[in-house]
Amino acid sequence: MNKFPRSAYVHIPFCHRRCFYCDFAVIPLGNKVETLQGYGSKTVKEYLNFLHKEILSIKHKSSLSTIYVGGGTPSILDPKQIEDLIDLFKENYGIDYGAEISMEIDPASFNQDDLYGYINAGINRFSLGVQSFNNQILKKAGRRHLREDAERSCTWLKGVYDSGLIKSWSLDLIQNLPLSGFKEWQDDLKKAITFSPPHISIYDLNIENGTVFKKLENLGKLKLPSDEEAFRNSESTHFILKNIGYSRYEISNYSLPGHQSRHNRVYWSGLGWWSFGQGSTSSPWGEKLTRPRVSKEYKEWVIRQFELNLDSSLTNQDFVYGELDEKIMLGLRLKEGIDIYKFFEEQNWENKKLEINFRKLLSKWERFLESGLLVRKGNRFFLSDPKGMELSNQILISMFEWWDEIN
């Protein structure tokens, strides 16, 4: 029997509006929402009621070492609603002393009083979705906040961190947005650094189906940085951050010593986690379960958890190892890479089959090892930094081809 998951993700789907690149399970409520009383409060309260029901539906659980409240825009919620959520876990699961309790917040969706309210509720780490400090770039991306909102939010977070009220915070940017050439990206990165965030997440823009950006791309109206500009942006990011003490511990994440995201490492390391809320995905024992993305269907699903037995993925205590290709993909994102033999042994392959499959994978990866994109030390493989991490898709595509062939 395996230990129960020690991490929980909670999805708050509400946003003021949907950004042009976003394909998450979100519910836009407009600019004037008031979650306790007033416009939108009924919708929010009804969702939170079902969310609480789902959290309480788990029968067997142990205390949590990480909680991550994401979205959406969780900072739309009143601090009292966040406090109720944290208290629910505290009373029904238990929260470890020293647990990392993170929350995503969005500039222009909270004020300084809210920030202190979230801290009093139990949040000790924040992830601030700045994306850019350039007003033109923000407008082109459909963001609601302005440069001054982002700067003010960063100043508040730096203040509560410096005074010891929180353990850490992250400043999140998106690289290669429309209008973000080399100069604009350098300006964004330099501005971010002035606030000395202990953690910086830098995500590459992906064009997802169903988004405004996808529609613009189909119409030929989406102008993005070229591949050469994108690589130059990424390469410069690596050297700038490395020179001032940040370590790139995962493809999209940089931190000062002691400030890696403990919660996100659970995902990348293939450990189990609970997940609650519309559209979220849990994997407590290796088997993934994604909740419905539509509100009505999610609520019906929660009701069924009470009236019928829980989904088998939420009750099975015998660990089911996930697909090997996904484990390799996630593991390679980390700076330390993967012990490939350890992964192979978990497949329970006989020695001959293991060696044959290993040789086939090596033949796929030979050119990347020769070019230095991929590095091997014994049975451990990892991406070189920065070039291997920037061009990781080539290595992963070859691995997926290998996985299809041996299956």
89 and 188 housed in the same domain: yes
Instruction: Classify residue 45: in a domain, yes or no.
Output: yes
HSE-CB at 123 with a 13 A cutoff on CA atoms is: 29
Quick one: CA dihedral 22, 27, 29, 33, positive or negative? negative
162 and 75 housed in the same domain: yes
Instruction: Classify residue 298: in a domain, yes or no.
Output: no
Domain count, the chain: 2
Instruction: Classify residue 49: in a domain, yes or no.
Output: yes
For the chain, the first-to-last Cα distance in angstroms comes to 29
Amino acid at position 175, single letter: Q
Give CA–CA dist 124/232, Å, rounded. 35
Task: Domain of residue 258: give its range.
Answer: 7-268
Q: Would you state the pLDDT for residue 319?
A: 65
Instruction: Classify residue 43: in a domain, yes or no.
Output: yes
- Boundary-marking domain end, from 234, 268, 302: 268
Give CA–CA dist 169/102, Å, rounded. 9
- Boundary-marking domain end, from 236, 252, 268: 268
The two structure tokens encoding residue 156: 């508040």
Instruction: Classify residue 330: in a domain, yes or no.
Output: yes
Please give the model's pTM, rounded to 2 decimal places. 0.93
Give CA–CA dist 372/366, Å, rounded. 10
Nearest to 130 by CA among 112, 142, 113, 147: 147
The two structure tokens encoding residue 217: 């791309």
Nearest to 19 by CA among 185, 203, 265: 203
Instruction: Classify residue 71: in a domain, yes or no.
Output: yes
- Boundary-marking domain end, from 223, 238, 268: 268
Helix (H, G, I), strand (E, B) or coil at 39: coil
223 and 354 housed in the same domain: no
256 and 396 housed in the same domain: no
Which CATH number belongs to the domain containing residue 151 in this structure? 3.20.20.70
235 and 361 housed in the same domain: no
Instruction: Classify residue 2: in a domain, yes or no.
Output: no
241 and 338 housed in the same domain: no
247 and 380 housed in the same domain: no
Q: Give per-residue burial for 54-69: e unless 16+ CB within 10 Å, then b.
A: bbeebeebeebbbbbb
Give CA–CA dist 356/392, Å, rounded. 24
| Cα angle: 118, vertex 201, 66; to 5 degrees | 45
Q: Which secondary-structure segment (H or E) carries 317? A: none
127 and 235 housed in the same domain: yes
Amino acid at position 309, single letter: N
pLDDT tens digits, the chain, 407 residues: what are they? 357 899 999 999 999 999 999 999 999 999 888 888 888 899 999 999 999 999 999 987 889 999 999 999 999 999 999 999 999 999 999 999 999 999 999 999 999 999 999 999 999 999 999 999 999 999 999 999 999 999 999 999 999 999 999 999 999 999 999 999 899 999 999 999 999 999 999 999 999 999 999 999 999 999 998 888 888 888 889 899 999 999 999 999 999 999 999 999 998 887 889 999 999 999 998 888 999 999 999 999 999 998 888 888 888 776 665 688 988 999 999 999 999 988 888 888 888 999 999 999 999 999 999 999 999 999 899 999 888 998 899 999 999 999 999 88
Which CATH number belongs to the domain containing residue 344 in this structure? 1.10.10
Q: Which secondary-structure segment (H or E) carries 15? A: strand 14-15
Q: How many CB atoms lie within 10 A of CB 330?
A: 16
234 and 352 housed in the same domain: no
336 and 251 housed in the same domain: no
243 and 353 housed in the same domain: no
26 and 120 housed in the same domain: yes
Instruction: Classify residue 307: in a domain, yes or no.
Output: no
